Structure 1
Amino acid sequence: MKKLINDPKNVVEEMVEGYVNAHPDYIRQLPENNRSLVSVRETKKDKVGILIGGGSGHEPAFMGYVGEGMADGVAVGNIFASPSPQPILEVTKAIDKGAGVVYLYGNYAGDVMNFGMAAEMADMEEDIEVGAALASDDVASAPVDEKEKRRGIAGEFFVYKAAGAAADFGYKLEEVVRIAEKANENTRSMGVGLTPCYLPQTNEPSFLIDEDEMEIGLGHHGEPGIEKGKLETADRVADRLVEDILNDMDLEKGDEVAVLVNGLGSTPKMDLYIIYRRVDQILKEQGIKIYRSYVGNYITSLEMGGCSITLMKLDDELTKTVDHAVDCPMFVQK
């Protein structure tokens, strides 16, 4: 796989340097740690800080969601690897305004461990209160009776949106955590993989698949899915993904949802909108209203081919967070 890089060992540092230099009106790098980035826009005293983070390779996540209405800072990990506790702690110290900081991250062992360690360090060394909410929206990664084992994939975007809005509304730390957890509880995703991505350090594929195959339920890091078979039409793929989501959700006729059709890196928007067309048809047939929709690359996997579909069930509280204005380098909503 051809890549426009220099030394594979430096891809994350050079990406971060380029990103910060490209968006100086949004984000800055902390001198204490080059993997710690924070918003340049001063937040008011007693606002709960929102800290997101995870492995590189998922751009525009996670750096792209630091800005007004979403996150105040981000800790950057190696490709597909959790950031270590130290950059997380440095961001925590920088964005704390006296009301504590909420960590938002996917349900992966490395993230759980490192963010947990950073939270302990913030409490013991800095006397900063830390709350946390994990994203676990991937229906394919565990059965419903083991939901606590599910991975976080594209649905993390809705968790960031909800928590960022709640913090802007002036809610206390416990309320911000509650709303983030509520967003996660009401969000489900399913994905399909078509082609692998290639890690810069090894140039090896993240998974193996034949040219005429697809894999349902594939993870964002190439984790095995639940079914591999011949490539189907866009409508058949959308039918399968939405069916699994609806079977896992408590949705009834008249309910409203936010929809995200997320590209994994190399899938053209043409394909994503064809998928969205069918999602819209299915939900209309079910009497479920799409309140707001998002189509594009929101949480990717380098140049992986494929997409995921995410639904978040809305009520008045979550609708208010979805509507909240956002101004980030990679995502703007008025």
Structure 2
Amino acid sequence: MKKIVNDPADVVADALRGLAAAHPGLLRVTEDPAVVARADAPVRGKVAVVSGGGSGHEPLHTGFVGPGMLDAACPGAVFTSPTPDQVQAAVSQVDGGAGILLVVKNYTGDVLNFETAAELLAADGVDVRTVVIDDDVAVQDSLYTAGRRGVGGTVPLEKIVGAAAEAGADLDTCERLAGTVIANTRSMGMALTAPTVPHVGEPSFTLAGDEMEVGIGIHGEPGRRRAALADANGIVTALLDPILSDLPFTEGDRVLLFTNSMGGTPLLELYLAHGIAERRLAERGIAVERRLVGPFITSLEMQGMSLTMLRLDDELLRWWDAPVHTPALRWGL
């Protein structure tokens, strides 16, 4: 294992200290329990949007904290859910009195721990709602989930509801918007290599030099199938076709196309794949009105990519375009 770390047991805490050093004035980082909050929180009268999950997927979620997106994120250990006390601590730091929206990816540990926190918060009189993103079309169930996994769709979900909350939308509106995004988002990923968790010290799985895993999860979970390595055209087709048929997306749809690196895929290859996906969608009469390309929800150093499509309407487009200022996304400010 070759990684830029000191003690693998301290990798998350050390990274959070670096995150705080890199973004003074934007973020406030606490260590026990670990919480990353926007520096100006709580914002009085504003719905607070809180998310979190295992570390190792950066910039998700800590890189999306700031005006126009998340009020706080709870980073767990690598590939491990945050604890209920982390979620409670995050809410206590950012509760502006207008309610809390918890954004949760559909993994068993995340769902259980956020639900436990929500019950405890509700018992204390906090108006808290929970939404669960489950956009991965690759599998219905996996080692980590009951039902579909939450993957790339988490990014547009956090951006859209975060923007609405920033503009003063109430909790009911934020929850409704979240439901619309979840219902209209589909994703699928693939891998060429496995990630290596620092405290484990070896890859999560092995692939031969002429193999790829299609439908991989963001923790290195198995996908739909192991297949012979294809070229870029074949890889994009293997990801795009299941997405298009699942919702389904049809001629005349307006979409956001998000082409994501799993951490080890360079932008040269990512833009190549994105261009193929855009051409395939144009051939089907699907209009790509917004794009996002880059490593935004990763799996440590895994080589691979994912595609996410969100079917847009004017309301979703408005909130996607709204200003945002976070370590990983920034426009309009």
Distance, in Å, in 2 between the alignment partners of 1:278 and 1:43 is 43
What is the CA-CA distance between 1:248 and the residue it aligns to?
0.5
Q: State the shift of 1:148 in Å.
A: 7.3
Deviations 1:182-219 (A, max 9, x none): 10110000111110011100112112211111011011
Shift of residue 30, structure 1, vs aligned partner: 3.5
- 2:249 aligned residue (251, 254, 269): 251
Local SS of the residue matching 1:284: helix
One-letter code aligned to 1:210: A
Contact 1:69 1:168 in 2 (8 A): yes
* Distance in 1 between residues matched to 2:146 and 2:36, nearest whole Å: 30
Return the letter of the residue paired with 2:210. D
1-structure distance, mates of 2:251, 2:321: 22
Name 2:130's counterpart in structure 1: 132
CA distance in 1, matches of 2:120, 2:258: 35
Deviations 1:283-333 (A, max 9, x none): 110111111101100000000010000000001111111111111011112
Superposition pairs for residues 1-334 of structure 1, below 5 Å?
A: 1-30=1-30, 33-42=32-41, 44-125=43-124, 127-142=125-140, 149-334=147-332
Q: Distance in 2 between matches of 1:290 and 1:138?
A: 20
Give the residue type in structure 1 aligned to 2:291: S
Segment of structure 1 superposing worse, 163-172 or 307-316 = 163-172
Letter in 2 for 1:301: S
CA distance in 2, matches of 1:206, 1:156: 23
| TM-score, L = length of structure 1 | 0.95
Return the letter of the residue paired with 2:100. Answer: V
Say how many residue pairs are matched. 329
Deviation (angstroms), 1:124: 1.7
Contact 2:256 2:309 in 1 (8 A): yes
How far apart, CA to CA, are the structure 2 residues paired with 1:173 and 1:250?
29
Deviates more, 1:164-173 or 1:50-59: 164-173
Gap regions ≥5 residues in structure 1:
none
SS across alignment from 1:51: strand
Deviates more, 1:104-113 or 1:41-50: 41-50
Query: In the TM superposition, what is the alpha-carbon distance from 1:52 to its structure 2 partner?
Result: 1.1
Percent identity of equivalent pairs: 39
Q: How far apart are the structure 1 equivalents of 2:247 and 2:107? A: 22
User: How far 1:154 sits from its partner (Å)?
Assistant: 1.0
- Secondary structure of 1:52 counterpart: strand
Quick one: structure 1 residues 187 and 275, their matched pair in 2 at CA, closer, same or farther if it must change by over 3 Å? same
- Output the amino acid matched with 1:66: V
Do the aligned partners of 2:45 and 2:97 also contact (CA within 8 Å) in 1?
A: yes
User: Could you state the TM-score of these two structures normalised by the residue count of structure 2?
Assistant: 0.96
Q: Using the alignment, how far apart are the partners of 2:258 and 2:231 within structure 1?
A: 19
Q: CA RMSD in A?
A: 1.4
Q: Please, which runs of 5 or more residues in structure 2 have no aligned partner?
A: none
**1:156 Cα deviation (Å)?**
0.6
Q: 1:76 to 1:168 in 2, by over 3 A?
A: same
Per-residue CA deviations over 1:223-248 (Å, capped at 9, x if unaligned) read 11111111101011101211110000
Q: Which runs of 4+ in 1 moved over 6 A?
A: none
Equivalent-residue separation in structure 1 for 2:105 and 2:292 (angstroms)? 20
Secondary structure of the 2:138 match is: helix
**Partner Cα distance (2:165, 2:135) in 1:** 22
| CA shift digits 1:144-199 (9 cap, x unpaired) | xxx97100011110110111012123121121111112101100001111100111
Return the alpha-carbon distance in structure 1 between the equivalents of residues 6 and 250 of structure 2: 52
Q: In the TM superposition, what is the alpha-carbon distance from 1:34 to its structure 2 partner?
A: 4.2
**Displacement of 1:251:** 2.2
Q: 1:185 to 1:22 in 2, by over 3 A?
A: same
Quote how far apart the aligned CAs of 1:43 are.
Answer: 5.6
